[in-house]
Chain A
Amino acid sequence: MEILATIWFVLIIVLWTGYLFLDGFDLGVGMLMPVLSRTERQKRVLLNTIGPTWDGNEVWLVTAAGATFAAFPHWYASLFSALYIPLTLCLLALIFRAVAIEYRGKGHSQAWKSFWTWAMAVGSAGIAFFIGAMLAITSSGLPLNDNGDIVGGAFAWIGWPAVFGGLGGVGFALVHGLIFLGLKTQGDIRDKSQRWARRMLLPCSIGFLIWFGLSITQRPWLIAVVVAAVIALGATYFAVRSGAEKAAFALHGFYLVLGLFAVFAGAYPNVLPSTLDSANSLTIASASSSDYTLTVMLVVTVICLPIIIGYQIFSYRMFLGRIAETHIPEAHRVPVAIRS
């Protein structure tokens, strides 16, 4: 029976969906920092909307990658080795973005601030691009030989799925970030975010829509799910236009959930298809760990996941409420050294 492997496949897709949903708005806010906000105080408003949550959200990425490694070691080995260069770049983007958040306020020159603001924006865009591209690639496949190794060198992963998935990831994060800012801020930034969200929603969704739509080629009945995703996206647009901020945020998330469901229900039972020969494709059966490992992991997950979700809900409730420019304290300056 492959029931355990199927459960873990579903769990891993849930983790990747959770990551895209949660870190999606963090990445979007990061990308918007240099362009949406004019003054230094406005930039700090943007940064502080994600201040309490960005690192917790990033842990979903660690968990998703770690769970993939533990539950499907062959999937992880093939995919991560094949994407060695882009994932190294993604790692550099993750490092720069995290450091940018921590360092930005610790210097006071214009050059220092604008360097870290751009590090934040470029890092965020890089993460969104490479994670989006990676997920699209794992659903569409790579030229794998019978050992699960990629054929064609370090750049054989470049292709249309990487482009759709990557640009789709950036577009999704941008719109998600704008909708989130509409929920979390007051005044100018709130108005501007709503305006931008209305204009950018449809063009930014093209990449993911193509990726979601391709699932129909795998299983025709998924057209129902894709249509539902398109309806959710349309509803998001009308919610944004009518200023229903909470509904817009929820609907945009629902659109993501439906779309990813279509993609991975279409790929099932493949976790990483081979474009050379379907006999080389990695499936949930050929890529998974032993039943013993999967059982132990399941027990741990059943106990720990509710706790994690519980304290994440707690932290979001704790920091509920809008942030305005008046809430931002004066920048803390290091006193000039006193020589003794």
Chain B
Amino acid sequence: MTTLLPDYQEKYGTHLPEDERYGQHSGEKIDYQPIMIVTYWGFRLMIGFGMIAAGVSALALWLTRKGTVPASAWLMRGALVSITAPFIANSAGWIFTEMGRQPFVVAPNPARQDAVYMFTQAALSPQLTPAMLLFSLISLSLVYGILMVVELRLLIVYIRGGVASAMPEVTKTNHTPRITNDEDDVLSFAY
């Protein structure tokens, strides 16, 4: 960090340019240091919980390889808790990327001569008003909030329904005979 800071200040300046693109922020001092605790832990949470999600999936594939479902209660509880892993990994990874790249919205690519980069303060479209941003923020949050409640309720219904609700073929005792006549066949997957 201490070696990178002077390097950045030399390459991209210590203050934002005096330009109308930067609005009220033009000429402000640039803070090149993102919030380190978020960057540090965001990355580790993303990788950690991502690995847990992948590991649990691989384990589940292995345990159900003979077409049977293990009956251990502890395994079931673990499986339930592991539902949260990909959500945590996704969210942590997203926050890590968005916050870690500040103060840039497009982080510089130093490999090329004509390095392309953009400070966040210059990224806002001048034609957008705060009301427009509020509109999208509120409507999207509302829709995602409602869908989260619906999704959680569906998850609970399916979890309470047990293995049979998600994998009817595993618990079916007598297999339906294979129908060769196309006219009488039904779709094996249907909405």
Which of A84-92, A215-223, A261-269 has 4 or more CB atoms under 8 Å from chain B?
Answer: A84-92
Q: Taking the nearest CB of chain A, how far is it from the CB of B54, in angstroms?
A: 24
Chain B residues near A179 (CB-CB < 8 A): none
Q: Could you say which residues of chain A place their CB within 8 Å of the CB of B187?
A: 48, 51, 323, 327-329
Within 8 A of B (CB), among A310-340: 323, 326-329, 332, 334-338
Residues of A within 8 A of B168 (CB): 332
Distance, CA A104 to CA B154, complexed state (A): 11
Interface of B is mostly: helix
Question: Quick check: which of B27-35, B97-105, B139-147 contacts chain A, the rest being far away?
Answer: B139-147
Contact A334 B132 (CB under 8 A): no
CB distance from B182 to the nearest CB of A (A): 8
The 8 A CB mask of B30-74 against A (1 = contact, 0 = none) is 000000000000000000000000000000000000000000000
Kindly provide the distance from the CB of B31 to the nearest chain A CB, expressed in whole angstroms. Answer: 26
Asked if A335 and B135 make an inter-chain contact with CB atoms under 8 angstroms apart, the answer reads: no
B90 CB → nearest A CB, Å: 17
Contact (A329, B186) CB under 8 Å given A105-B191, A149-B127: yes
A238 at the interface (CB under 8 A from B): no
Contact of A77 with B157 in the complex, beta carbons under 8 Å: no
Closest CB in chain B relative to A314 CB, distance in Å: 17
Alpha-carbon distance A328/B186, docked complex (angstroms)? 6
Q: A84-B128, A88-B136, A88-B139 are in contact. Are A337 and B191 (CB under 8 A)?
A: no
Nearest Cβ in chain A — how far from B165, in angstroms?
A: 4
User: B190 and A44: CB pair below 8 A?
Assistant: yes
B125 beta carbon closer than 8 Å to chain A = yes
State the Cβ distance, B151 to closest chain A Cβ, in Å. Answer: 9
Residues 142-173 of chain B, each 1 if its beta carbon lies under 8 Å from chain A, else 0: 01000100100010011011101100100000
CA distance A15 to B135 in the complex (A): 30
Contact in complex: A335, B162 (CB < 8 Å): yes
A95 to B151, CA, bound (A): 14
> Shortest CB–CB separation between residue B22 and chain A, in angstroms?
14
Q: B191: which A residues are within 8 A, CB to CB? A: 44, 47-48, 51, 101-102, 104-105
Contact A329 B165, beta carbon cutoff 8 Å: no
CB pair B165–A154 under 8 Å, yes or no, is no
Return the contact of A99 from the options B132, B147, B161 (Cβ within 8 A). B147
Q: In chain A between 56 and 110, which residues have their CB closer than 8 angstroms to a CB of chain B? A: 77, 81-82, 84-85, 88, 91-92, 95-96, 99, 101-107
Q: State in angstroms the CA–CA spacing of A89 and B186 once bound together.
A: 37
**A81-B125, A82-B127, A85-B135 known; A334 vs B190 contact (CB < 8 Å):** no
Determine the distance from Cα of A275 to Cα of B160 in the docked complex, in whole angstroms: 60
Give the dominant DSSP class at A's interface. helix
Asked whether A326 lies within 8 Å of B186 as measured between CB atoms, the reply is yes
Chain B residues positioned under 8 Å from A232 (CB to CB): none
Chain A nearest CB from B28 CB (Å) reads 22
Chain A residues closer than 8 Å to B10, beta-carbon distance: none
Per-residue CB proximity of B109-153 to A under 8 Å, as 1/0?
000000000000000011111011001100110010001001000
**Contact (Cβ within 8 A) B126 A147:** yes
User: In the bound complex, how far is the Cα of B190 from the Cα of A102, in angstroms?
Assistant: 10
Residues of B within 8 Å of A335, CB to CB, are 161-162, 164-165
Q: A85–B132 contact, CB under 8 A?
A: yes
Q: Is A150 an interface residue (CB 8 A)?
A: yes
Min C-beta distance of B50 to chain A, whole Å: 24
How far, in angstroms, from A92 to B126 measured CA to CA in the complex?
24
Contact in complex: B140, A92 (CB < 8 Å):
yes
Bound-complex Cα distance A327 to B186 (A): 4
Q: How far is the CA of A309 from the CA of B154 in the complex (A)?
A: 36
B150 A103 Cβ-Cβ under 8 A: yes
Q: Which residue of chain A has its CB nearest to the CB of B160?
A: A337
Cross-chain contact B128 with A334 (CB below 8 angstroms): no
Residues of A near B140 (CB, < 8 A) are 88, 91-92
> Which parts of A122-181 form the interface with B (CB within 8 Å)?
147, 149-150, 153-154
Q: How far is the CB of A215 from chain B (nearest CB, A)?
A: 27
Give complex CA distance A95, B143 in Å: 9
Q: Which residue of B lies closest to A45 (CB)?
A: B190
Q: A326-B183, A336-B161 are in contact. List 5 more A-B contacts (CB 8 A).
A: A92-B139, A107-B154, A153-B129, A329-B186, A334-B160
* Interface positions of A (Cβ within 8 A of B): 44, 47-48, 51, 77, 81-82, 84-85, 88, 91-92, 95-96, 99, 101-107, 147, 149-150, 153-154, 323, 326-329, 332, 334-338
- Give the 7 A-B residue pairs with the shortest CB-CB distance, closest first: A337-B160, A334-B161, A81-B125, A334-B165, A329-B186, A149-B127, A88-B136
